[in-house]
Amino acid sequence: MKQFFAFIKKEFSHVFRDRKTLLMLFGVPVVQIVLFGFALTNEIKNSNIVIVDNAKDMASQQIINKLASTPYFHIKKELLSSSQIDAAFKAGDVKLAIVFPANFYTDLLHANKAQIQVIADASDPNTGNTLTNYVTYIVADYQANLNATIKAPEQITLDTRMLYNPDLKGAPNFVPGVIAMVMLLVCVMMTSISIVREKELGTMEVLLVSPFKPLYVILAKAVPYLVLSLVNLTVILLLSVFALDLPIKGSILLLYGVSTMYIITSLSLGLLVSTGASSQQGAMTLSLVGMMLPTLMLSGYIYPIENMPMILQVLSNAVPAKWFYIIVKAVMLKGLGFSYIWKETLILFGMTIFFLTLSLRNFKIRLE
Amino acid sequence: METVIKTKDLTKKFGDFVAVDKITFEVHKGEIFGFLGANGAGKTTAMRMLCGLSRPTSGEAMVAGIDVYHKPEEIKKNIGYMSQKFSLYEDLTVLENIKFYAGIYGLSDKDIKEKSDELVEKLGLQSQVKKLVQGLPLGWRQKLAFSVAIVHQPKIVFLDEPTGGVDPSTRKQFWDMIYDASEKGITIFVTTHYLDEAEYCDRICIMVDGKIKALDTPSQLKQNYKVNNITEVFYQLARTAKRGDD
């Protein structure tokens, strides 16, 4: 055990001595998140919207005033009829249209059921989604106030339509994507390089001649990167909560648990890469081309998998980041529990076993 | 005399290629045993089998009284190893390298402290302990690598072409360190292709094409072959080689 700690200490020294890599590891996710965060905020504030108020009653006016008083919307025009909406969208700078039906207030009071139609330009799905959510919150808030004064449980339902991209497929949820990417970068690339470096320098031979077991070499190499990845995860989560106002809806413990699973998957992949590469350069190329590209393209983080040709959809199943991306979205954004993500977690677990078996076999052969 | 390495018909094949062909020899305690051969003669492969880095195809071998087939892990505690690359971590300091290697051999904290102080003083590296190894001249690295290889006081230390690329005067100093270790009872098993270094060994073994062609003290070999130096002996034997450099 003492030997093991001596080894881990040495690994940490390697990591901290290499300032450039360290800066990259922590800098890249921070820059990505901050950049995206600000780009996102600028776009969503002061969005132009149009309103068709067929009701022109107390309730519709109150909601319109509420909308106008937020920093998110700029009411560009109040249109006279729904037929003008299409033209307004085509003219370009309108992001959202809201339609109040005639008799809105009456419906609300007497039928206990009123409907507002929200039409969003979803060609940029994220903006469309966010704006619609804002409207939802504002209407819900209005309703809550109303319910506080009047006893009856009124119901305003929003009839939402996403123009141009009805299912919002591929809404780029940046944070889960960045997490999936960074973990992979740290674990696969750094681990494989650090193992291959020992081979290249000839220190691996000395380690193998020592009584220190090869399995421990691998474990001791994995520990610093596991720790580093968890620190990185924490930085990303803190940034997304405090800088992007993106709350973690699910259990944080579960999020860390599944992330640790994903990190272990990535580490075993790194180990596999290291058994296949004979130089640091080779390990880097193999991890960049073999891991980063498929992760970028096939994880669903940038390009929606549903829109891909069948063959790529099938291939995407072999990309661990795809499953992790689904898990993080479910836990972080939707607040779902383990019962919703156990399948994905099991898949990651299976992948880990597969990578480990393969690489331990290759590692043994290399000792000969 | 105590025997620390003993082999009988030790063989290593890579497919059809016989890298080491039935070699039989013994090495005694405290001896400086030189393994000579051209590149590709099989000396590194033979050494790797004795270190437990490579599994023999056939034959017998005992190192420090332990069978290489059955308990290679036991052997590892009793040997030290230094490769031609000097195997130090360049991004760690002198002291960190010493402590790391002492650490993975399971020395206690007290021993590590004592050993590293002693080592640094002996090497005259006091002013360099906090410096990264990458800043050290090659000669110092070589000496440090050797000291680190025997930091756990092994019975045998294997040196694989330890003087490659080092200037002659530093090589001389290095051999002084080897003598020192040998006097303390550590057996030195060294491969080299610097023929002048062969004269420094107690006994030498010349390998050609995976076989042992000669094994004796340097003076006895010179007598047998009626020549003035080992270089001549080596050339007479090497001329019979069929394998080229590889």
Last-in-domain residue among A163, A196, A215: A163
CB–CB of B104 and A7 under 8 A?
Answer: yes
Confidence of residue B81 (pLDDT cuts 50, 70, 90): very high
What is the domain count for chain B?
1
Q: Dump pLDDT digits (tens) for B25-66.
A: 999 999 999 998 888 888 888 998 898 888 899 999 999 989
Q: Residue A160's pLDDT is what?
A: 66
The CATH number for B22's domain is: 3.40.50.300
CB contacts of A17 in chain B (<8 Å) are 91-92, 132
CB contacts of A10 in chain B (<8 Å) are 89, 92, 96, 100, 103
State the DSSP code for A306.
G
Distance CA B36, CA B197 (A): 10
Residues A53 and A28 in one domain: no
State the DSSP code for A333.
I
Spatial CB neighbours of A240, under 8 Å, sequence gap ≥ 6: A33, A37, A175, A246
Q: Is the pLDDT of residue A93 over 80?
A: no
Which has the higher per-residue pLDDT, A110 or B37? B37
Mutate to test the interface with B, among A12, A198, A203, A219 (most CBs of B within 10 A): A203
Residues A53 and A82 in one domain: yes
Residues A226 and A326 in one domain: yes
Which has the higher per-residue pLDDT, B192 or A261? A261
Confidence of residue A171 (pLDDT cuts 50, 70, 90): very low
Provide the shortest C-alpha distance from residue B87 to chain A (in Å).
5
Give, for A268, the enclosing helix (H) or strand (E).
Answer: helix A252-276
Provide the shortest C-alpha distance from residue B105 to chain A (in Å).
7
Residues A141 and A238 in one domain: no
Distance CA A111, CA A210 (A): 82
CB interface of B with A, residues 114-153, below 8 Å: 132, 149
CB–CB of A212 and B81 under 8 A?
Answer: no
Domain of B207 in residue numbering reads as 3-44+52-238
Residues A222 and A354 in one domain: yes
Find, in chain B, the residue whose alpha carbon is nearest to that of A367: B53
Residues A35 and A144 in one domain: no
CB contacts of B76 in chain A (<8 Å) are 209-211
Residues A305 and A213 in one domain: yes
Does B217 map to a domain? yes
Last-in-domain residue among A142, A163, A184: A163
Find, in chain A, the residue whose alpha carbon is nearest to that of B71: A211
Tokens 């063989």: give the residue.
B11
Domain of A228 in residue numbering reads as 2-39+171-367
Residues A210 and A87 in one domain: no
Does B211 map to a domain? yes
CB–CB of A7 and B106 under 8 A?
Answer: no
Give, for B113, the enclosing helix (H) or strand (E).
Answer: helix B109-123
CB–CB of A18 and B91 under 8 A?
Answer: yes
Distance CA B119, CA B101 (A): 13
The CATH number for A130's domain is: 3.40.1710.10
Residues A345 and A219 in one domain: yes
Q: Dump pLDDT digits (tens) for A1-47.
A: 788 888 999 989 888 888 888 888 888 888 877 776 666 544 466 78
Residues A52 and A143 in one domain: yes
pTM of the predicted protein model: 0.73
Q: Smallest Cα–Cα separation from A239: which of A30, A52, A16?
A: A30
What is the domain count for chain A?
2
CB interface of B with A, residues 166-225, below 8 Å: none
Residues A139 and A181 in one domain: no
Greatest C-alpha distance within chain A? 86
Q: Dump pLDDT digits (tens) for B103-133.
A: 998 888 899 999 899 988 988 888 888 899 8
Burial of A265 (0-12, 13-18, 19+ CB in 10 A): buried
